[in-house]
Structure 1
């Protein structure tokens, strides 16, 4: 009796875009590691502007909604987004503190997800270990952010974003190349 391997839906997209994105992530990671303060402030400002645009979008959407309850709730949410974004953009250093906690949690959760996915990828890629290492590093960084808050917030967030981008770019490059060798 012959055993047939099940088809995998988790195939890595094979294109030049994957390589370009991975290289861009590596370069941005190196820049963020070299200039952690600027990376911290830049990421905070981007986060603030995202909130501003989300607030404006939510407010416009609220006025297009039908029914008073829907309009009021959506309008309040849009105003909260807008206010949060304005506060972050006006005072990015205070925003760095808040963003440090949010990104610490995000990097921690991303690490847990990457560890889980890495174990699922071990059958289709010999380089799954790099994704596992990236996930473990994310978990460690998340814990480290919480333990050094608020003293290291100004440099910590930029450095960790840089390291995280660097490792993500590396595993993206190697996971794709490992899968190609496995399929041939």
Structure 2
């Protein structure tokens, strides 16, 4: 008598919502790169709103990928974005740009560490995990740079760094579903 285990069909991350969310994230990144002075001059409110939106998107993404794994880390990342965005939006005119820079640098740094951790956990199941790894490494580098930079360099560079970070976040979101489909076609 042989016992066979039923073969379960792997669950793909739904691209119905992921692709539009990735496009919005890329659009926000392009906007920040094209208008770095605007983003820097109005950074407290602009970035606060961008982080709130990114937090909501990340939390939504975490619930969409419930069965894929790493939901806890994705929720922490989304909450981190959301809390940082609310903090920055509440104090837009406080004149303490150094506090804003510190919060922004730490948030992007922690986001990068979490993305690198998730990427290494996904490397065996998702072929395009390298995009998430690159996004995380860029986040770590940008977070350290923002956190350690002087006020004068931070004011004109913050918009560009945020834009590039958002661009890579959107790119890995776009690449994830296609990599999963290729992996499933390869196995079959």
Aligned to 2:100: 99
Aligned to 2:162: 161
Aligned to 1:182: 183
TM-score by length of 1: 0.67
Aligned to 2:150: 149
Helix, strand or coil for the counterpart of 2:150?
Answer: coil
Distance 1:100 1:122, change over 3 A: same
Aligned to 1:17: 17
Distance 1:95 1:39, change over 3 A: farther
2:144 counterpart of 1:126: no
Aligned to 1:90: 93
Distance 1:30 1:121, change over 3 A: same
Give the alignment's Cα RMSD to 1 decimal: 3.2
Query: In structure 1, how many angstroms separate the alpha carbons of the residues matched to 2:14 and 2:180?
Result: 10
Deviation per CA, 1:64-121, whole angstroms, max 9, x where unpaired?
Answer: xxxxxxxxxxxxxxxxx99x93xx3335xx3543222111101111111111100111
How far off its partner does 1:41 sit?
4.2
Structure exhibiting the larger radius of gyration computed from Cα positions: 1
Distance 1:29 1:12, change over 3 A: farther
Helix, strand or coil for the counterpart of 2:92?
Answer: helix
Question: What are the equivalent positions in structure 2 for 1:65-80 lying under 5 Å apart?
Answer: none
TM-score by length of 2: 0.66
CA contact (8 A) 1:28 1:162 kept: yes
